[in-house]
Structure 1
Amino acid sequence: MTAAFLEHVNFTVADPAKTAQNLDNWFGWHTRWHGEAIHGGLSYHVGNDTSYVAIYALGTPKDGQDNSYATIGGLNHIGIVVDDLDATEAKIKADGIETFNHADYEPGRRFYFRDENNIEFEVVSYA
Structure 2
Amino acid sequence: MRLEHANVAVSDVDAVAAFLVDAFPDFRVRGGGSKANGERWLHVGTDETYVALEEAPLVDRPARELYGREPGLNHLAFEVDDVDALRERLIAAGHLDSTIPNDHPHRRRVYFHDPTGLDWEFVQYLSDRADERHDYDLA
Runs (4+) of structure 1 exceeding 4 A deviation are none
Q: Normalised by the size of structure 1, how large is the TM-score?
A: 0.81
Distance 2:110 2:38 in 1: 36
Shift of 1:126: 2.0
Q: List runs of 5+ in structure 2 lacking aligned partners.
A: 127-139
How many residues in Structure 1 have an aligned counterpart in Structure 2? 122
Shift of 1:95: 2.6
Shift of 1:16: 0.9
For the pair shown, the structure with the greater C-alpha radius of gyration is 2
Query: 1 or 2, which has the higher helix percentage?
Result: 1
Aligned partners of 1:102 and 1:112 also within 8 Å: no
Q: Normalised by the size of structure 2, how large is the TM-score?
A: 0.75
Aligned: 1:12 with 2:9: yes
Q: List runs of 5+ in structure 1 lacking aligned partners.
A: none
Amino acid at match of 2:91: K
State percent identity of aligned pairs: 32
Aligned-pair Cα RMSD in Å: 2.0
One of 36, 51, 58 as aligned partner of 1:53: 51
For residue 37 of structure 2, give the secondary structure of its aligned residue in structure 1: helix
Shift of 1:39: 2.8
23-32 vs 96-105, which moves further? 96-105
Q: Residues 25 and 50 (structure 1 numbering): CA distance in 2 closer, same or farther, change over 3 Å? A: same
User: Partner residue of 2:21?
Assistant: 24
Query: 1 or 2, which has the higher strand percentage?
Result: 1
